[in-house]
């Protein structure tokens, strides 16, 4: 659209370069995960399972697999390893004899809590961004994650934008345009959640209307560059 035929002609397309950048970030995260969890005797996958169970409580194996975007055998491997390490335990579920509910042991809860405390490298890098940029990044990630959900690439997340209590752009205040009907309080992009414990799924019509209203926010139109 705008400008600089030179650069538009000779560069990789913008989405490709953005993807390359995300790749590098992903690489650092993987590396950090090995380095950090490794000292605690965990692999990255195992740490993810612990984090998931910490956030969500007891889960079935198939739910864990879906949430981590791996196949069941892989999730089973990880859970087996964690069981051997005494960090999780399996219980049978009353109404379904095939299923097993997996939950943290006390040691597992402690390990999961310990992990969240440590200010890891990527978190400090994000924290070093100007706050407005962090908020913008969060909003962009929200957009991408919703898109991924709609393509069926990941299960539906417990995000504000999927929530029955979400009222996007309900207020005039620029810093807190949204409203959460659950806690009955205004909030802004910087408060958006990707995994809210109070989440209640909105029906399709509401979700779609909310999304429309959310993404046509005045703040979304900035001068491109």
Measure the N-to-C terminal CA separation of the chain; round to a whole number of Å.
11
Q: Which of 42, 78, 111, 135 binds a second copy (CB under 8 A)?
A: 135
* CA proximity to 177, closest of 197, 196, 192, 158: 192
Stretch that binds DNA, among 55-63, 134-142, 148-156, 171-179 (CB under 7 A): 55-63
Nearer to a second copy, 11 or 91 (CB): 11
CB of 137 to a second copy, least distance (A): 5
Q: How many helices (H) and strands (E) does the chain have?
A: 9, 6
Q: Is 96 exposed, middle or buried, given 0-12, 13-18 or 19+ CB atoms closer than 10 A?
A: exposed
Nearer to a second copy, 91 or 208 (CB): 208
Give yes or no for a contact between 86 and 24, defined as CB atoms under 8 angstroms apart.
Answer: no
Q: Which of 177, 199, 210, 214 binds a second copy (CB under 8 A)?
A: 177
| Interface with DNA in residues 64-83 (CB under 7 A) | 68, 70-74, 76-81
100 binds DNA per the rule CB under 7 A: yes
97 binds DNA per the rule CB under 7 A: yes
CB of 91 to DNA, least distance (A): 10
96 binds DNA per the rule CB under 7 A: yes
Give yes or no for a contact between 159 and 196, defined as CB atoms under 8 angstroms apart.
Answer: yes
191 binds a second copy per the rule CB under 8 A: yes
156 binds a second copy per the rule CB under 8 A: no
CB neighbour burial string for 191-209, b if at least 16 within 10 angstroms, e if fewer? ebbeebeebeebeeeebee
209 binds a second copy per the rule CB under 8 A: no
């Amino acid at each position: 659209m705008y400008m600089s035929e030179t650069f538009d002609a000779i560069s990789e397309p913008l989405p490709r370069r953005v993807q390359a950048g995300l790749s590098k970030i992903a690489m650092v995260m993987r590396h950090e995960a090995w380095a950090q969890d490794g000292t605690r005797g965990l692999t990255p996958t195992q740490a993810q399972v612990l984090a998931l169970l910490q956030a969500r409580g007891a889960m079935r194996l198939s739910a864990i697999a879906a949430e981590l975007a791996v196949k069941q055998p892989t999730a089973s491997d990880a859970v087996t390893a964690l069981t051997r390490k005494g960090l999780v335990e399996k219980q049978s579920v009353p109404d379904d004899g095939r299923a097993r509910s997996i939950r943290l042991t006390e040691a597992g809860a402690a390990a999961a809590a310990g992990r969240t405390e440590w200010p890891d490298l990527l978190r400090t890098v994000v924290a070093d961004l100007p706050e407005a940029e962090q908020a913008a990044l969060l909003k962009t990630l929200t957009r991408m994650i919703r898109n991924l959900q709609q393509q069926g690439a990941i299960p539906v997340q417990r995000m504000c934008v999927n929530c029955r209590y979400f009222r996007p752009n309900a207020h005039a205040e620029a810093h807190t345009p949204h409203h959460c009907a659950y806690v009955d309080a205004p909030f802004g992009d910087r408060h958006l959640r990707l995994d809210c414990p109070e989440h209640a799924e909105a029906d399709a019509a509401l979700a779609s209307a909310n999304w429309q209203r959310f993404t046509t926010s005045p703040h979304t139109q900035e001068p491109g560059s």
